[in-house]
Amino acid sequence: MKLAVLGLGSAGRRHAGNLRALGHEVVGWDPEPAWDLPGVSRANSVEEAIAACAAVVVASPSSAHADQARAALEAGRDVLVEKPLATSAPDAEALAALAERTGRTCAVAMNMRFHPALRRLKELVANGALGKVLLACASFGHDLRLWRPENDYRRSYSARAELGGGIVLDAIHELDYLLWVLGPADAVSAETGKLSELEVDVEDVAAAVVRFRSGALATVDLNFFEQSYRRGCVLAGTGATAHWDWSAARIAISDRDESRTEEISADVGDTYRAELADFADAVRIGRPPLTSAADGVAAVRLAEAI
């Protein structure tokens, strides 16, 4: 296909390169005029980029997601929107409704759904290997200054409220995969705050308790200031407990009789390529993408509640 990539920051550049590697033709647009990507044609406006292509990838700052995705859908284009789908639940809901009315594919770039460890956790829950899951604990923490060390973190969308930043929306992957694995959420209590010395005008920490319709409870802790990268999830069920540790690249599964470890090695780059391949395949054959607009709405609703 010929695809437009709107926004050529770190995410957009990665998408453009991966699309090219997957054999697609790419047209790029960014408000910063001094960009140059090998093999990527230049558009002079969002409208020009959308008109030139069959499908659109929105990779601009979060605050622009809803407007640019709406423009693509209204032009009759299928669209993949970087997470989050929008920065407010009403905007996300409006996009999902527009995609339904126009009959276009609207997918959300949630690459963590393609991580083999999370796919394994979902499988363990779905096949009953853990029994009934009663408690989940999902965590993410890393110093924002280390995310993109070549750039000034203070200028990033992550650090700026006007661009849709903050740890809750930036780490929405944790919310999305809990919804994916455990089903709909019914209630949430939470605290967020700006506690570190980071020069940001958004929350840099969040701690939440989520109750799911299944009856399970989940704790979620997210932050922008941990010095070492920490990510993982514990699922405690009536039959067994599974503990995924990102850094150790393994899942430990234990019950009252035994414990075993499954090594889960993953190239994160593969997850980004897989989400693009899934989107292209969904458009080609007319099936739902792995992360639909409805999924994106649910994640934004939970983020907004927190």
Residue-wise pLDDT tens digits, 7-57: 999 999 999 999 999 999 999 999 998 888 999 999 999 999 999 999 999
Residue 154: inside a domain, yes or no? yes
Residue 150: per-residue pLDDT: 87
At 193, which amino acid appears? Answer: G
Residue 10 lies in a domain: yes
In a domain, 71, yes or no: yes
pLDDT value of position 33: 83
Please state, in angstroms and rounded to a whole number, the distance separating the CA atoms of residues 118 and 136. 13
Residue 163 has pLDDT above 90, yes or no: yes
Residue 104's contacts (CB-CB under 8 Å, 6 or more residues apart) are 73, 76, 77, 78, 79
Q: What is the pLDDT of residue 148?
A: 87
Residue 306 near residue 193, CB atoms below 8 Å:
no
pLDDT at 188 over 90: yes
The letter for the amino acid at 231 is: R
Q: What is the CATH number of the domain that holds 194?
A: 3.30.360.10
Domain shared by 60 and 40, yes or no: yes
- Round the average pLDDT of the chain to a whole number and report it: 97
* pLDDT, mean of residues 169-196: 98
pLDDT at 265 over 90: no
Whether residues 177 and 38 share a domain: the answer is no
Residues 150 and 245 in one domain: yes
Query: What domain range is 203 assigned to?
Result: 116-265
Which residues, including other chains, have CB under 8 Å from residue 269's CB and lie 6 or more apart? Answer: none
- Clarify whether residues 237 and 153 are in a common domain: yes
Copy the structure tokens of residue 180.
């994916």
**Predicted structure pTM score:** 0.96
SS3 content of the chain, % helix, strand, coil (to 5): 40, 25, 35
Q: Are residues 193 and 235 in the same domain?
A: yes
Q: What is the pLDDT of residue 167?
A: 98
Residue 58 has pLDDT above 90, yes or no: yes
State the pLDDT confidence band at 108, using cuts at 50, 70 and 90.
Answer: very high
